[in-house]
Structure 1
Amino acid sequence: MLTDAQIIDLTREAVMTAALMSAPLLIAALVAGLIVGLLQALTSVQELTLTFVPKVAAMLLVFALTSSFMVGLCLRLFEDRILPLIG
């Protein structure tokens, strides 16, 4: 049976892993949004799809480049923390 401290520690580590996995995607969306926002301010073009499409494209590109990193983080969490608690 898991103690309260083990559950809290496992939850903390799972949240930290989720934050590390989502960080590259969120940073890509932020940078793409800033660039598109600056271009919209410079050109006075206010089109909603102009902000959405580059963000999605940047996030897909970053996801393709960092998916092995994300899978490694997830596997490390399961192998190091969750599987020993099950066995």
Structure 2
Amino acid sequence: MGLQMTEQDIITIARQTIWIIVQTSMPVLVISMIVGLVISLIQTITSIQEQTLTFVPKMLSIFITLMILGSWMINRIVEFITQLWGNFGQYIH
């Protein structure tokens, strides 16, 4: 008789998955938010109210962040997937 996956196992996997998503998306979101805030402050100070002005700096900051932290983000995701696949035998009945 094999092991059977319980509701607690499903909740644990879902919680771990959500945590990995938060960890890997947070750097990009925070940098984008900071750049948007700085550009908004500059627009307020200079009275330039061009809505499209934030697009290019945000895209550049996201691109640079992904270049710097992309390997770390991919490694975290790969480690998690490897762990899930390594324990796959426990999850099926």
| Normalised TM-score (structure 2) | 0.86
The CA deviation at 1:52 is 1.5
Q: Deviations over 1:24-50 (max 9, x none)?
A: 100110110111011001100011110
Amino acid at match of 2:61: A
RCO higher in structure (CA 8 A, sep ≥6): 2
Match of 2:6 in 1: 3
State the alpha-carbon separation in 2 of the partners of residues 60 and 48 from structure 1: 20
Q: Which protein shows a greater Rg?
A: 2
Residue 83 (structure 1) aligned to one of 67, 71, 85: 85
Match status 1:18 vs 2:13? no
The CA deviation at 1:84 is 2.6
Gaps of 5+ in 1: none
C-alpha RMSD over aligned residues: 1.0
Match of 1:40 in 2: 43
Amino acid at match of 2:86: P
State the alpha-carbon separation in 2 of the partners of residues 85 and 2 from structure 1: 11
Match status 1:31 vs 2:58? no
State the alpha-carbon separation in 1 of the partners of residues 24 and 54 from structure 2: 23
Structure (1/2) with the larger helix percentage: 1
Q: Percentage identity across aligned positions?
A: 29
Runs of 4+, deviation exceeding 2 Å: none
Partner SS state of residue 87, structure 2:
helix
